[in-house]
A = this chain, B = another copy of it.
Amino acid sequence: MAKGQTNKGLTERLQAALKERGQRWTEQRQIIVDVLAASDGHATGAELVERVRQDDPSATPSTVYRTLDLLEELGLARHHHGPDGRETYHLEETTEHGHLHCRGCGAEQELDAAAAAPILKAITGATGFSADLDHLSLQGLCATCRADQKG
């Protein structure tokens, strides 16, 4: 889906979920979902507030945060914590994935389910834990930076 464009399927899911709970579809909620969709799933709460306000200057932090909470309740969004500890939101429809942050070059890399499978397996083997891929946020040195250090 191109950025800045309304995500039709998502809107429908949102409207259905709201209707079922006797809650209301509003333009603000649509904007927030759109912004979240356009952010490809990696934006802090504060960033989302700022972006929403670009689309709709009258929007307030309270509405954005309340909507993010609502979206999580509805199972349409999730959040995890980045290396700086701030909340980072993404839509649940985004494929579940982990994150890798390189402390050398600052690059952020996604870790899809297939790539993560052996890692999760190793975690279970070593600890008995079944780790949540969505909360897997690793820091370290990427292959390039490791090579640079050696050279």
Contact = CB atoms under 8 A, between A and B. Distances in A.
B119 A115 contact: no
Given A85-B86, A125-B118, A138 B131 contact: yes
Q: From DSSP, what is the main secondary structure of chain A's interface residues?
A: mixed
Interface string A128-151: 111110011111111100100000
A33 interface: no
A136 B135 contact: no
A139 B146 contact: no
A60 interface: no
Contact of A123 (B87, B103, B119, B132): B119
Interface of A: 81, 83-87, 100, 102-103, 109, 111, 115-119, 121-123, 125-132, 135-143, 146
Given A111-B127, A115-B126, 19 more contacts: A85-B85, A100-B129, A100-B131, A102-B129, A103-B132, A109-B129, A117-B126, A119-B119, A119-B126, A121-B122, A122-B122, A123-B138, A123-B140, A129-B140, A131-B138, A132-B138, A132-B139, A135-B138, A135-B140
